[in-house]
Structure 1
Amino acid sequence: MRCVMQEPCEAVVSAYLTSQACHRASALLIFRQINITIRHHEGLRRDIDRLIKALSRTDSARHVRRICIQGALRLNVEETDSDGQATNWLKACGLEEILVDDDPNRIAARYVVHDEPVIKRSSEEDMAWAPVVSLLQAIPHLEVLVYDCKNQFPPSLLSTLHEQHPQCKLYHLTFRFRTLLWDVLDPYERELATSPSLYRVKVVCTPRDSDGEDDFNLEAMMELAVGLAPNLKEVIIFTIYAALASRYNRERDSWKGLPGFSSELMGSLTSLSFIGVPDFTSPTHLQNWARHTDFACLQHLVLGGGYNGQSAGLSGETMEWVAQNYSFPRVTTLRVTLDRDDALAEKPHYSENAVSFFRAFESLEELSISGPIDSHIVDAILCRHGQTLKKLHLRPFEDLTNLSNGRDRRDIPMEFTKDHILQIQAYCLVLEDLAIPVKRNKSSASEAEIYRCFGEIKSLRFLLLNLDCSDWQVCRDSTYNPQFNNEDQKPVEYREFAKLGNLKETFINCAVDEALARSIWKTISQSKTGRPLERLKLWTTGGGEYGDSSKLCTDIMIIWDLSRSWLIERVPRDDQDDIIVRELGQHARQLSDVQARDSLEDEAGQAFRVLWPSKENSKDWRDDWSSFPLEV
């Protein structure tokens, strides 16, 4: 088990060590949140006792407002997680540190609703949580308990919340019913589901699980939101297709309903998120929820999103239908994934439908969009919401499939130019948080000029730049005909359209080391007006993408090593401009290096060596490359 306080910034720690007065002021920030990761029950009491003693010694228990518990409590040390082989794809790729706002699927491909019995009060498993109960009893002013453990929420913790912290909000991020198919719902599951402490719920559900059992957790959540859980305000629905479920080809059983549910009542959720497979971003699904939930009360809305690394999004027709049938007058935070949905038939009105959809919302303060977007959509968003936007995340992408309905795809992800950045600057006067792609152009002066433009966004404090190294023109633009010199004009052996020059440009663009990261930070900071930039993330992506689906090829390991991502943070001190630079996803990259090839004898390796000859006494090609300096 691991217990840590919320990670404080360097300035807070310094103040904490300076004097008794500073100690008291800083302790409030350092101890405000406690994060607990549980792996097995051995040592749990010892570690919690140490934590309670530390809080007592520093008189800091009164400062704790939030406790986050994650992991899995195993009674047998030799047990392993049943879904241990189902690695979180974001974590495996090192992107969990970058895409912190994403909600990845953490469930194994095989999914069973009733995978374990309901936890019993005073059982061995329940009693194993006694140390955490002691911690909750030692905290006088707990406001939020975040529970993200594989185990079902234990009765002892629920009783402690009700008795010791009746005003504490429970964020249950692994919630689900296990006994919905029983004749009578398990009493404890009903008690947990209707608890006045329950405030936020995330539930993973599927139409049918891997054992052929129907899963009615989705229907149950709709009814809970009506008022059976009196203080439930935030619901996250993560819908999956369970492996092997297709073997059971039959109609679903009828849903019996939860005891006490009344269809005449209407829920008043403030936050609703639909993530997962495409069926659950359809008009029918939204209609079902509208019967139970007053969309006019929503303040936060998520429509579509990641499923095992893929995205299920709203089609143009669905966006048009939503705009015509519903209003969201109080929504200030919107996260949406879009989908052209034109594999079987052309959808010429997609852009107009998207424009109507975003105009249907009032003044948004936070907006995140993934999927096909164009200048018309961006113009409509900035005109409608620019004056109020504090956060804007744009992640354009297109379907890599080359053929749809017998025609060649020509869609290319939107490229943001200098004029687009200046347009954002002109419209978004209070923008603090921006995520946007920047097309890499071999560290040229024109690329550097785009970085400088970000400095003119006066309120900007947090910036995530997707350093886009792709070149979709190679396969998608019929007029594309670059004139490379000499050998660079030669076609790449394992690519249908790319030339050796394209491959070299890809390597140059993907080569993002610490020196280049610092240079980009410096270029933005030197031109920054208004508030100083506090954090910059650089996410290097797209290497080897040429607008077709043949990405896995012999150059992939070179691209993987070159494409590094970085976090740069300003040290919060007034007397100097120190920064902290850290590579993101470094652990995942180093693990892949173990399996990476050591020789560079093929065509890709030869192209690499033209750009970066072997250094004297070099033992590994990974130590030979460096970024091309930014032209400033």
Structure 2
Amino acid sequence: MNLLSLPPETIGQICDYIAADDLPSVYELALASKQSYAIAGRHRFPQVYLSIASREKLARDVKRWSRILQRMSTFTSVRHLVVRGKMPPTEDDRGQTRTLEEDTNHGCHEDELTCLSNYYAESINGVFNHVPEPQHDSWGPLRTLVSQLSGLCDITWSCETLFPPCLLEILHQSMPKCRLHIMAFRLPSLCYKADNPQNIDAYEYELATSPSISSILVPLNHQNDGGNLDYNGEAAIELANGLAPNLTNLHLVFEPSSAHWLDQTPPDRPPWRGFFLNRPSCKDDSFNGHLRDLSLCLPLDDTRQKAFSELRTLRLWGTSLKALSLNLLKKLTSYSFPVLESMALDFGHTRDENSIRLLDEAGGDFISSLPPLKSVRLSGTIRTKVFQATLEHHSKSLRKLSLISEKRVKDENSVTTDWLVQTRAACPNIQELHFTMFMTNGDDEKEIYKAIRGFSCLTTLKLLIICIGRPEERTSDDPNEHPRFFGNIEVNESLAETLFLVTLARQSSSLQRLDVEFHAMYNSSPGCYQSVHRRWRCIRMKDGVIVRPIGHIDQHKRKLF
């Protein structure tokens, strides 16, 4: 039976199924006939991305998207709008603008919030040290576009600029079910001098308590460079305690200003007096919030234990500049997480062995205190006690395990064949495995592939493969040596497929998908790395393997590490 001979409703259902995992195949199907083009069209633009740098660019981009969506008759098919960047404070938009998109190192795409450094880079620290003036009169073109997206389900707002009133009005009046995710949540009126406390701005309070808000990421900066105290962290806890009725995802990121970024203890400051000075915040044990997803860097005094009663996902973050808070681990070990299913621990990176030992012990105790988990993601400096606690206390329930060690370093922190063998023996139900490995072209690398083949239930494998070139490997001082080095070791489509087939090994294997992210690094001088990477996805089909690129770093985006 020819696919195109099926009823349009059936073809539409097939497109829905394919689009969930392999959108490029839907694009190819759309080219088969006019009928399939019309049916698959709604999957061509499920997301609209806008990068804000100026008023002129915003108007131009909105006009372009409107023209595309109108031509394709797909206004109603857009489900997700993502807005990044910053609106300049003046009409003169010709200057360079620093944006979240430019400063964020997305790194591994397994889960953008698994590791703090993968989503919220340390280099963004300076962005939030000042409070930008709201530019509410600049969003007319975007308001027009949003009003036409009647099928919109989610808006992700990654702008430094405050979410504008005109868009909030549309959500409240016309799109009450659309979820708002603010990934740079900062209310300017909650930043003020210690001797000049003030009420929250009326619109900011309306925004903070809006039923549209579903997720917020709050940069915790207790005192910015201007000497203003920042109480957005305390406000976020109050919102989670029920003031924001539909807030389910809360991410609290400690981003201190340059004056005291090395201290884990915030400076002395008066306690927060609440959103309104004559209406103190509630301090009883009542909890009416519905948090499902929580991310923390540091312990918060006002985090009530009842706030965790409905929590499904917990993330604890360190950074490349600062290890995970030992106090946070110890405090949370005494808490109860009755329905927790997924946990991510990013231990950060430290060279201090005593700190590593203490974190390993505290991390092991914390993991042991949790109910059986379905998903565990460990990153940063991972050591034995944390790993063993994961296997001992969550082996039967575990379905997903991620072990992402520090890039550029192969030591006892690296995933070994022995770790994989232990995981395979202890966790018979593992369906998704993600870990870092180093390309050595030696027996240890071969043994890792053999160990992977022993996972009987594994359906998805994600590999972050590191290949490091060092100065002694250079054959000459030719300036073209670097490009040759990267060209020789870059993963291509054929090699990605070979890795999949080597891992598959037998027809009875349950493995259906391999995502391989390959980092090629050249150590040109001590502490200085140049890097390129490619990402490929291999999907197992009945008659073979489909291999697709899933992104790469362009030449102009290559970075020094």
| 1:454 matched residue in structure 2 | 452
Q: CA RMSD in A?
A: 4.0
Distance 1:542 1:50 in 2: 38
Aligned to 1:436, the other structure's residue is in SS state strand
Q: Residue 152 and residue 245 in structure 1: after superposition, are their counterparts in 2 closer, same or farther (change >3 A)? A: same
Q: Distance in 2 between matches of 1:508 and 1:49?
A: 43
Distance of 1:239 and 1:352 partners within structure 2: 23
Out of 206, 230, 233, the residue aligned to residue 218 of structure 1 is 233
Superposition pairs of residues 134-173 of structure 1, within 5 angstroms: 134-173=144-183
Instruction: Provide structure 1 residue ranges, at least 5 long, that are not aligned to the other structure.
Output: 120-124, 401-410, 472-491, 494-506, 545-550, 594-632
Counterpart residue number, 2:547: 579
Residues 56-110 of structure 1: CA deviation (Å, up to 9, x unaligned)? 44332332222111122344321332579x963736xxx4668844322366444
Q: 1:56 to 1:538 in 2, by over 3 A?
A: closer
By how many angstroms is 1:351 displaced? Answer: 4.6
Q: How does 1:55-94 map to 2 (within 5 A)?
A: 55-74=69-88, 75-81=91-97, 88=103, 90=105
**How far apart, in 1, do the equivalents of 2:516 and 2:202 lie?**
48
Q: Please state how far the C-alpha of 1:164 moved relative to its aligned partner.
A: 0.8
- Choose which of 299, 304, 323 in structure 2 pairs with 1:312: 323
Supply the distance in 2 between the matched residues of 1:436 and 1:378 (Cα, whole angstroms). 13
- Deviation of 1:236 after TM superposition, in Å, equals 0.9
Q: 1:142 to 1:390 in 2, by over 3 A?
A: same
Are 1:512 and 1:565, in contact at CA under 8 Å, matched by a contact in 2?
no
Greater C-alpha radius of gyration: 1
Any residues of structure 2 matched to 1:343-354 within 5 Å, and which?
343=352, 351-354=360-363
Residue 268 (str. 1) matches residue 268 (str. 2): no
Give the residue type in structure 2 aligned to 1:450: I
Are positions 1:243 and 2:258 aligned together? Answer: yes
Q: Report if the CA contact (8 A) 2:323-2:350 is conserved.
A: no
Q: 2:41 aligns with which of 27, 35, 45?
A: 27
CA–CA distance in structure 2, aligned partners of residues 71 and 395 of structure 1: 29
Structure 1: which amino acid aligns with 2:463? L
What's the CA shift for 1:245?
A: 5.5
Mapping 1:498-537, distance limit 5 Å: 512-514=489-491, 519-527=498-506, 529-537=508-516
2:325 equivalent to 1:303: no
Instruction: Supply the AA of the counterpart residue of 2:119.
Output: D
Equivalent residues in 2 for 1:170-209 (5 A)?
A: 170-180=180-190, 181=192, 182-209=197-224
Deviation at 1:270, TM superposition (A): 1.5
Structure-2 change in CA distance of 1:58 and 1:303 (3 Å): same
Aligned equivalents of 2:378, 2:175: Cα separation in 1: 38
Structure 1 residues 439 and 108, CA gap change in structure 2 (3 angstroms)? closer
The superposition leaves residues 241-299 of structure 1 with CA deviations (integer Å, 9 ceiling, x where unpaired) of 2023589x974234221235322232432211113xxxx2xxxx2443126x5212211
Q: CA deviation at 1:146?
A: 1.0
Q: 1:253 aligns with which of 259, 262, 270?
A: 270
In the alignment, is residue 389 of structure 1 matched against residue 398 of structure 2? yes
Over 3 Å counting, the alpha-carbon distance change for 1:65 and 1:542 in structure 2 is closer
- What's the TM-score once normalised by structure 1's chain length? 0.70
Structure 2 alignment gaps of length 5 or more: 1-18, 473-483
Aligned residue in 2 for 1:628: none
- Once the two structures are superposed, what CA deviation does each residue of 1:175-226 show, in whole Å capped at 9, x if it has no partner? 1111123533211111111111111111112121111211111111112222
Could you say if the C-alpha distance between residues 572 and 18 of structure 1 is closer, same or farther in structure 2, counting changes exceeding 3 Å? Answer: farther
Instruction: State the distance in 1 between where 2:381 and 2:551 align.
Output: 29
User: By how many angstroms is 1:14 displaced?
Assistant: 1.4
Aligned counterparts of 1:565 and 1:583: Cα–Cα separation in 2: 9
Report how far residue 378 of structure 1 moved: 2.4
Q: Which of 307, 312, 332 is equivalent to 1:294?
A: 307
Hey, what's the Cα distance between the residues in 1 that align with 2:66 and 2:347? 47
Distance 1:99 1:336 in 2: 13
In the alignment, the residues of structure 2 paired with residue 83 and residue 239 of structure 1 have an alpha-carbon distance, to the nearest angstrom, of 19
What residue in structure 1 maps to residue 337 of structure 2?
Answer: 328
Within 1, Cα distance between the matches of 2:67 and 2:556?
36
Per the alignment, residue 26 of structure 2 pairs with 12
Structure 2 CA distance for aligned equivalents of residues 57 and 337 of structure 1: 45
C-alpha separation in 1, matches of 2:108 and 2:247: 28
1:62 alignment partner, SS class: helix
Partner-residue secondary structure (3-state), 1:262: coil
Specify whether residues 132 and 369 from structure 1 end up closer, same or farther in structure 2 by C-alpha distance, changes over 3 A only: same
> What SS class does the counterpart of residue 174 from structure 1 fall into?
coil
Structure 2 counterpart SS, 1:179: helix
Matched residue type, 1:67: L
Residues 37 and 453 (structure 1 numbering): CA distance in 2 closer, same or farther, change over 3 Å?
Answer: same
The one-letter amino acid paired with 1:256 is R
Contact 1:207-1:215 at 8 Å conserved across structures: yes
Q: Deviations over 1:308-358 (max 9, x none)?
A: x4343143x7535432x2111111121112379895968867655433321
Q: Normalised by the size of structure 2, how large is the TM-score?
A: 0.78
Contact 1:463 1:535 survives alignment (8 Å) = yes
What's the secondary structure of 1:189's corresponding residue?
A: helix
SS at match of 2:183: strand
How many angstroms does 1:111 deviate by?
5.5
RCO comparison, higher one (Cα < 8 Å, 6+): 1
Question: Following the alignment from structure 1 to structure 2, what is the Cα–Cα distance between the partners of residues 215 and 536?
Answer: 41
Alignment check: 8 A CA contact 1:510 1:540 kept = no
Instruction: Show the counterpart of 2:477.
Output: none
Q: Is the 8 A contact 2:105 2:121 kept in 1?
A: no
Report % sequence identity.
21
Distance of 1:151 and 1:216 partners within structure 2: 18
Deviates more, 1:71-80 or 1:572-581: 572-581
Do the aligned residues in 1 keep the contact of 2:338 with 2:371 (CA within 8 Å)?
A: yes
Please say if residues 208 and 214 of structure 1, whose CA atoms lie closer than 8 Å, have aligned partners that are also in contact. Answer: yes
